[in-house]
Amino acid sequence: MSDVVLELQDIHKSYNHGKPNEINVLSGASVQVKSGEVVALVAPSGSGKSTLLHIAGLLDTADSGSVTIGGHSPKRSADWERTMVRRGEVGFIYQFHHLLPEFTAQENIVLPQLANGISRKDADAHATDLLTRVGLAERASHRPAELSGGEQQRVAFCRALANKPALLLADEPTGNLDPATSDQVFAALMELVRDRGLAAMIATHNLDLAARMDRVLHLRDGQLVDE
């Protein structure tokens, strides 16, 4: 069985199709990410890295090319199939945590599991384990407003891993934090990813963080350059 978790083949994406101001964002981007591999995605703002991550995670569709996740390659028109693959195989982390403010840290991690058919007992146990791994067991009953920025983002990491995805996609996950907190939070993220043997693609402007990953991809002229 192949250990390739994510494969993008010849991905093209443009906006304002057929108009004089058509913008080509992706022009044949291709990559494979294997289980246990953490790949940095480095590119200037506005170059298309968020678009690439959304296509890779089946949140957006490419104009052409194919996306395969865990051996599944859903058709662009099959929304239900894309939803099922995304729900079962992909975890997302963004620059801002997007936690539900009315729920506790524990509940924010439990809810996606309940939506995926996990029992409350098992969901609670898994949430407790994840919070313990990132040093937040004692903060489980706190709501997001009662947590620091770094703590909120660590809860967001746990939520992204709640349904045990094979692929983690992160868009500037430490970009909203100060340097010291960013380093601590990134270390927590890497420990979770390594422990679970995930395939991960992490977009970042921070070249020091990128250098700590297994491979660095640059998005240039709509294509991925492996360095």
Please give the residue range of the domain that contains residue 114.
Answer: 4-226
What does pLDDT average to over the chain?
A: 88
14-24: average pLDDT: 72
Of 26-35, 70-79, 148-157, 216-225, the one with minimum mean pLDDT is 70-79
Domains in the chain, number: 1
**CATH number of the CATH domain containing 41:** 3.40.50.300
pTM of the predicted structure, to 2 decimals = 0.86
Provide the pLDDT for residue 77.
62
95-99: average pLDDT: 82
Whether pLDDT at 199 is above 90: yes
Confidence of residue 80 (pLDDT cuts 50, 70, 90): confident
Provide the pLDDT for residue 15.
83
Closest CA to 140 of 118, 170, 110: 110
Whether pLDDT at 164 is above 80: yes
Provide the pLDDT for residue 99.
92
Whether pLDDT at 1 is above 60: no
